[in-house]
Structures are given as C-alpha cells and as structure tokens.
Amino acid sequence: MNLLNGKETAAQIRQEIAQKVKDHTEKGGKTPHLAAIIVGSDPASETYVSHKVKACNEVGINSSVIKFDDDATEQEVLEKVEEINENSDIDGLIVQLPLPGHISESKIIETVRYQKDVDGFHPVNVGRMFSGLPSFLPATPYGIMELLRRYKIETSGKHCVIVGRSNIVGKPVAMLMSRKGEPGNSTVTICHSRTSNLEEICRSGDIIIAAMGSPGFVKQNMVKEGAVVIDVGITRVKSDKTKSGWKLAGDVDFDAVAPKCSFITPVPGGVGPMTIVSLLENTLRATAKEIYS
C-alpha cells in the first residue's frame, strides 16, 4: 500500500507556484491578487477562507477578504461582486459557499466575471470544462487529477467508480476522468444514493473516488485488491482521542481498506491540501491570462 500524500505533494506545488509568481513579477507582471467574499460567520467557512489566505501568503499571492454579516442583502453582495469584477487589481474572486438562504447562490456565481472565477463554478467555466475547452477547473477535481498525474497512476482504460454526484466534485471529476487525456480515458461509473448495487459496483472499480460526505462509508468488502482509492470526504466527527473532542473523517474506512489498496489518500492530508493549491494555480493563471486573454 502506498499513500497518495496530498500534504507533501501540495507543499511541493506551493514551492513551484511561489517560483512561478516570482518569475512572473520579475518579468514585470503584476502580483496575483485573490479576493474572497464571505457572508455570515459559519466557523467552517471561516476556517476554509483563512487556510486559503494563509496559502496565498505562502506563495506570494496577495489576498483580500471581504466579510458581510449574516443579514447582508443579496443586492449588497451582488454590488460587491460587480465592484470586484471592475477592479483590475483583483485577478481572482471566490465567494465562500454556502451562502445564507436568502441569497441565491446561482445568481451570485453567475455574476462573478467568468475570467475571474477561479473556483470554476460559473456556467461558462463549467460548460467549457464539460466540452474539453480551456477553463478554470473546480479546485477539488483539479487537485485529484493533479495528484493522480504526479503519482503517475495509470487511468487509461481503467474502471473508475465515482460515489457521489455533486456539482463540485462527483460530476466534474466524472467528466475529467472520462475525457481524452492523461490522466483520463477511464471508463467512468457515477453512483449515488439511488444506486441499487453499490457494493458490487465499487468492487469492480480499479479506481474509486468517494465523494458523498458519509464518514467511513466505503468498507473493506467494497474494494478490490490493488485498487486506487481517493477519499474526498471530510466530515467533522466526535472523537475521544483528540484534545478538541473532534476529528476529521473521510468517506473511506481507512484502516480496514488501506491494506487492500495499491494507492490511497489519507484524511486529512490527502485531497484537502490539493484543493487549496489548485485555487492558487487558478489565481496565477488568471493573472497571467493563460485561459482567457
């Protein structure tokens, strides 16, 4: 069993990005600048945004966080998005999800200028990804593909079973794994809550990508000998073994499943850190106008 060490790989990529940022600015390019909008005071959202800011700092990307109270109106947030769209110093803009119920997420996302949409959530980026055109890829699927690429995991002709059909992980990763390309060219099966024989399908997977947010869901008897297992789940569960009383749990029963795998991602330290570096990579690409001129 080999660990797909996202933490180490992400550290390596951060170094590479820091170098690229340095090269870009030394050639007279502007310093990349990522803005994050956060509405309300959800602790998980605040943690995510602070991790993103920290990662920006580490690689020389400027960052701004714009905070709104829980009761901010949709109009106020939309106006801020439009202001940032027009601000030529800001290259990338993310709006931390979820938003309070009275604000339409799709309206906010569609208002972000797609050339600054480094989360890859705008329909133009989603549609271009779908059609195999250059676009900002959503960070988690992008991070998974990069992890597979750097560990030289063979994906062509393999059966990749994806558990979960979310817009931000399951569905885009299905598109990326089945597309012509490397990594890619997998035969992809998309499973979800309505799948009737999930265990059997998982057992036929050469690669399993678990992304349904259900701690320990993927059990030993659902994984075939030698499989590659990517665990996207990250749920806070109670624990009597940590000082805080909480720990992060993946969708895979790691201790039981890992011995059967050729490769497996741990949680934490697998897909999570790769997600954040993908956002940095997208921000740098936005600054360098690599995708949209």
Question: For the window 138-177, what string marks contact with a copy of itself as x by the rule CB under 8 A?
Answer: ------------------xxxx-----x-x---x--xx--
Task: Specify whether 52 is catalytic.
Answer: yes
Given 80, 91, 96, 115, which residue is catalytic? Answer: 96
Q: Does 201 bind a copy of itself (CB under 8 A)?
A: yes
Shortest distance in whole angstroms from residue 74 CB to a copy of itself: 17
CA-to-CA separations, 147 to 3, 5, 142, 272, in angstroms, rounded: 11, 8, 9, 11
Measured at the CA of 230, the angle between CA 219 and CA 47, to 5 degrees, comes to: 105
Nearest by Cα to 208 from 168, 252, 167, 165: 252
- What number of chain residues touch a copy of itself (CB under 8 A)? 37
| Element holding 231 (H helix, E strand) | strand 228-231
Identify which range of 29-37, 58-66, 123-131, 236-244 contacts a copy of itself by CB under 8 A: 123-131
Q: Does 52 bind a copy of itself (CB under 8 A)?
A: no
Q: Does 282 bind a copy of itself (CB under 8 A)?
A: no
Q: Does 293 bind a copy of itself (CB under 8 A)?
A: no
d(CA 171, CA 217): 19
* Residues 57, 63 contacting (CB under 8 angstroms): yes
CA atoms 154, 159, 161, 167: torsion sign: positive
Given 119, 206, 231, 253, which residue is catalytic? Answer: 119
Q: Which residues bind a copy of itself (CB under 8 A)?
A: 106, 122-128, 130-133, 156-159, 165, 167, 171, 174-175, 178-180, 185-192, 194-197, 201
- Residues annotated as catalytic are 52, 96, 119
